[in-house]
């Protein structure tokens, strides 16, 4: 229930927690430090990043995909109970247009972007969805 930070995925400093709605604990919402966009580079290299609707998923939809094997991750992505009640069309829209998702490709500062170009990711995601979302064999 604590967010991870930095490319190494270390637990968030200052005992920051998710909160029930994914927007931080009462009295310490994510927006205390994280704005709607990254601060200007002139603020320095260690400023908190920002993007529209910066938050974690609510407690019922934890970021539980970290470290999952490919077969379980695939099932979780397709499971509406785990993915925010999204069908394939909504998932495609989410990965194509959501500003917080898009932030991953232009995170600013000294943060590493998603290593796959966004256009390639979306193209491959659409192909996967059009094929019915096949999952790899168990343990793959």
pLDDT of residue 134: 97
pLDDT of residue 68: 86
134: how many CB neighbours lie within 10 A of its CB? 8
Per residue in 10-39, pLDDT (tens digit) is 888 888 888 888 888 888 999 999 999 999
pLDDT of residue 9: 83
| CA-based nearest residue to 44, from 109, 108, 113 | 109
* Cα(25)–Cα(17) distance, integer angstroms: 6
- Confidence band (pLDDT; 50, 70, 90) for 63? low
The number of CA neighbours under 13 Å toward the Cβ of 65 is 16
- Domain-by-domain residue ranges, the chain? 1-63, 65-140
Which residue stretches of 79-117 are H helix? 88-97, 99-103
- Confidence band (pLDDT; 50, 70, 90) for 139? low
The model's pTM is 0.83
């Amino acid at each position: 229930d604590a967010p991870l930070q930095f490319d190494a995925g270390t637990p968030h400093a200052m005992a920051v927690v998710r909160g029930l709605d994914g927007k931080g604990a009462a009295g310490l919402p994510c927006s205390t430090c994280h704005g709607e966009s990254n601060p200007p580079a002139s603020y320095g290299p260690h400023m908190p990043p920002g993007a529209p609707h910066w938050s974690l998923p609510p407690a019922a939809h934890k970021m539980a995909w970290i470290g999952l094997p490919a077969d379980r991750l695939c099932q979780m992505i397709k499971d509406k109970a785990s993915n925010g009640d999204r069908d394939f069309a909504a998932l495609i829209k989410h990965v194509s247009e959501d500003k917080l998702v898009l932030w991953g490709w232009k995170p600013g500062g000294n943060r590493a972007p998603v290593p796959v170009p966004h256009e390639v990711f979306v193209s491959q995601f659409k192909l996967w969805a059009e094929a019915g979302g096949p999952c790899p064999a168990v343990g793959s």
